Amino acid sequence: MKNIVDLLCSNNYRYEKKYVLSSLNENKFFFHLNRHPFIFERAYDDRFINNIYFDTPSMTCYWDNVIGLSKRVKVRIRWYGDSYGHIQNPILEFKIRNNTLGTKVSFKLSEMDIDSELTIDSIHQQFDQLDVSYPIKEFLLSLRMTVMNGYLRKYYISKDEKYRLTYDSELQFLSIHNYHNSFTKIVKSTNRRVMEIKYDEHIDDHASQISNYFPFRMTKSSKYVFGVDKLKL
C-alpha cells in the first residue's frame, strides 16, 4: 500500500489526535469544552456522516491499520444526510496516514442510489471514469465493499481558528456486500464516542495545551477497523 500513498500526492498534511470516550464521559467532555482556554465555538451545524469502506480481497487496508504501518490508506465513499436512497453528492476519499500525519485526497462522484440494487460493478464503473493515474485506477478496480458506517458529528473550532475539534456519536456499522444488499446486519455502538483534535502540520506550538485540558487519554482508533471487528467480517 506504500506505493499508493506515494502516488496520491498531497501537501495538506495535518495532525489528527483521537480520543475514544464512553457515553458516561459525555457530560465531562462538554464541561471541559465549554471552559477551554482556547475558546472552542461551533464551526458548522451538526450533520450525519455516512461512509462505505473498500478493501482488497485480502483486507490489506484493514491489516495495515491493525499493525500500524507507517504509510497506509483507507478508501471510502462519503456522503451526508440520509443513509439510504438517492445520494446527490458522493465523494471518493483516500484517507492517508504518513507516520504521525494524515491527509485526504478526494474525488467527486456521480449521483448514486444506496439501496438493494447497489453493486460493486456500478461502483467500479464510477471509479473507471475518474481522471487518475493507471496504478491508482487499477488499485480502485481491485477493491470490494466491506463496511458501511454512519455517525452524528459536531464541529468546533478554536477562537484563533488554528485548531479544529470534532465529536462523533450515534455510531452504527452495517455489513455490506458486493451484490444483493439488504442492509439488515446492523451493529449500533451507543456507548462509544470519538473526539478528534485536528491542526495543520506546521502548527504544533500549543497542541499539548489543547489536548491536555481534556481528561482523556489519546488512543489509536479507526472506525473502519472497529466496524470490521464488530461485524466479525
Neighbours of 135 (CB within 10 A): 12
The answer on pLDDT for 2 being more than 90 is no
Assign residue 31 the CATH number of its domain: 3.20.100.30
Mean pLDDT along residues 178-194: 91
Give residue 186's Cα distance to chain centre. Answer: 18
Neighbours of 45 (CB within 10 A): 7
Report which of 48, 46, 54, 56 is spatially closest to residue 85, judged by C-alpha positions: 48
What pLDDT sits at residue 183? Answer: 87
Whole-structure pTM value: 0.94
Per residue in 125-175, pLDDT (tens digit) is 999 999 999 999 999 999 999 999 999 999 999 999 999 999 999 999 999
Round to whole Å and give the CA distance between 9 and 109: 20
Round to whole Å and give the CA distance between 146 and 227: 9
- The pairing of beta strand 85-87 with beta strand 14-22: unpaired
Per residue in 72-125, pLDDT (tens digit) is 999 999 999 999 999 999 999 999 998 889 999 999 999 999 999 999 999 999
Categorize the per-residue pLDDT at 176 as very low, low, confident or very high, splitting at 50, 70 and 90: very high
C-alpha cell at 95: 484517507
DSSP label of 123 = H
C-alpha cell at 212: 491536555
User: Domain range spanning residue 84?
Assistant: 2-231
How many domains are there within the chain?
A: 1
C-alpha cell at 114: 444506496
Are 76 and 52 a contacting pair, CB within 8 Å? yes
What pLDDT sits at residue 80? Answer: 98
Q: What is the sign, positive or negative, of the torsion defined by CA atoms of 187, 80, 116, 129?
A: negative
C-alpha cell at 140: 480502485
